[in-house]
Amino acid sequence: MPELPEVETVVRDLRPLVCGHRITDVINGPHRLRRPWRDEWNERVVGRTVQALDRRGKWIIAELDSPARLLVHLGMTGQFTVAPLTDPLPTHTHWYLVLDGRWRWQFRDIRRFGSVELLADAPTLEAFLAKRLGPEPFALQAQPWLVTLNKSQRPLKALLLDQAVVAGVGNIYADEALFAAGLHPLHPGAATTPAQAERLRVALAAVLTRAIDERGSTIRNYVGGSGLAGRYQTAFAVYGRAGQACRQCGTEIGCIRVAGRSTHYCPTCQPQASA
């Protein structure tokens, strides 16, 4: 599933391609996405201009020149790109907007776990996201972050995957941030010291910033809004490297299950009783 760096890359790629352009048609395919598009939304979108494009967690938000907001989630295999209307329609394209009668802003999703929907206005959008998302990783404050970790007995890996704890982090960047912080994935949140919490807070921001600079990670289907793949997968310290040597100490990278997810770590650099 695309995580914060991948979604941020899509938004940055798309912003100059869609902002300021007028929506002249909506085409909804025959196959339903996870949150199906409603035909009655068409009249609230056609004729409107895209004014802004932003990200919150793993969600993409398009602001129109009306109260309505488009809310997009890429799911596991979603690709949100712009192409000339004259180009052949890619397979598995389930929804698209026509921009200025010339461009196709298209949502392609092989597994159809993604979604595109319309929310009435900004307050409705904020209420929708507030129920689901904690703070952005770049906005974490040291003391509230420590309190959040300390009030849970769950392991750090599970806490990082919880979107209500911190928004946008998924399996890849949780593993990479824990490695950068020198913390074991099973380390309990309640046992986290102020120094450990600060290392993790700093590591999250650093890992995510570097990943954004590298256009995210392409493992299978992910491409940015311009159709280009990510590069950060070549720099993984632990994720997907089980059985390989740690780039830092040479120890074999281990893999365990935490919160139902494959979790990669270095037993030497991330000792169980992390200091």
pLDDT tier for residue 104 given thresholds of 50, 70 and 90: very high
Could you say which DSSP state residue 228 is in?
Answer: P
Mean pLDDT of 249-254: 98
- 125: tokens are 């959008």
Tens of pLDDT along 20-75? 999 999 999 999 999 989 999 999 999 999 999 999 999 999 999 999 999 999 99
pTM for this model (two decimals): 0.95
Domain 4-130 CATH assignment equals 3.20.190.10: yes
In this predicted structure, the answer to whether residue 129 has a pLDDT above a threshold of 70 is yes
How many Cα neighbours within 13 Å face the side chain of 154? Answer: 15
Local structure of residue 232 (DSSP, 8 states): G
**Residue 22 β-bridge partners:** 49
Q: Domain 137-265: which topology?
A: Helicase, Ruva Protein; domain 3 (1.10.8)
Compute the chain's Rg from CA coordinates: 20
Catalytic residues: 2-3, 58, 261
Residue 222: what pLDDT? 78
pLDDT of residue 101 exceeding 60? yes
Query: Where do the structural domains in the chain lie, given as residue ranges?
Result: 4-130, 137-265
Instruction: State residue 223's pLDDT score.
Output: 76
Give residue-wise pLDDT tens across range 165-185: 999 999 999 999 999 999 999
